[in-house]
Amino acid sequence: MPIYEQTYRRWETPRLRGGRWLAVAAQELRVARTSALYRRLLLLSCVPFLLCLFLLLVTDLMTANPSMLLRSLVRQVQFTNIDARFFRMYISMATPFAFIFCLLVGGGSICNDHRHNLLEVYFAKPLGKGEYFFGKLAGVCYVPLCVTAAPALGLYLLHMIFSPGTALEFVRDSYWVPGACVALSVAVVVPTALFIMACSAVSRSTGFASVIACALLFMNSAFGNVLAEVLRVQNLRCLSYTRSLVYLGDLLFGDRTRITLHWGFIIAGFAVLSLLCAGVVLRRIRNVEIGS
């Protein structure tokens, strides 16, 4: 019998028995908030939302004008037309911030615990590998999803509130937009978070993990674009992770694209990447003894 079974009382709380991973996620976010760079980027990430909110308010106020000429002129301007492309534009502007937050939080999520021997502290309590893994993943994904999906849904609701006269028509024409925003945000954040966590699991420092992640993404994008140009096959561009995200956004929001690849291949590619990265992370922590 391990010595801690003889000297320490077991930590059993019925209220947390099904959500122990929340403690891991909260600790990950607590550590991230101590960085001044994190707080400044959090403020800077509000700029795309404020810009889109300004465009939405101006458009709604001008289209509410009884002048039919003014209303038609506003709708002819592409950037002030509140449709599916407007929400796709916001997510595209917020995606770089989501990637940076994944780097800041996920770059040290695994390697720092190994360097400071914190895994033994976590697993000294009744915390399993799965709970530890999902807690880390939730901590990495929380802020990026709050930067992408949550503001997009907020803009959708605000547009219905500020233009009640056309709210029913807007919902009838774009009822699928909230689902598309959530789906694209999850496709951007979750595989990216798992990929960066995998880089953290095979490195010894946060900076090294970030360098590995950026270098691999750059080489992957270059390989996909060069191969597509050499073979003159546009579908090969989807071998690039970033280009696959762009193509998935085109499919979800109905934009034009020259790629004809079926969406199932893109989803399968993201699933395979996520499973491989999750396997790397779990392999890294598999040798840690867990108290029974």
Sorted by where each begins, the domain ranges of the chain are: 17-285
Q: What is the pLDDT of residue 137?
A: 94
Q: What angle do CA 135, 139, 142 make, to 5 degrees?
A: 125
**Tens of pLDDT along 81-112?**
788 889 999 999 999 999 999 999 998 888 88
**pLDDT above 90: percentage of residues in the chain:** 49
Distance of alpha carbon 114 from alpha carbon 174, whole angstroms:
47
Q: What is the pLDDT of residue 13?
A: 47
Distance of alpha carbon 93 from alpha carbon 192, whole angstroms:
16
**Tens of pLDDT along 140-194?**
999 999 999 999 999 999 998 888 777 888 889 889 999 999 999 999 999 999 9
- What DSSP element (H or E) covers 252? helix 241-253
Supply the pTM of this predicted model. Answer: 0.86
**What is the pLDDT of the chain when averaged over all its residues?**
84
CB atoms within 10 A of CB 104: 20
Q: What is the pLDDT of residue 268?
A: 95
Residues 193-209 have a mean pLDDT of 90
Widest Cα–Cα separation across the chain: 82
Higher-confidence position of 128 and 33: 33
CB atoms within 10 A of CB 120: 12
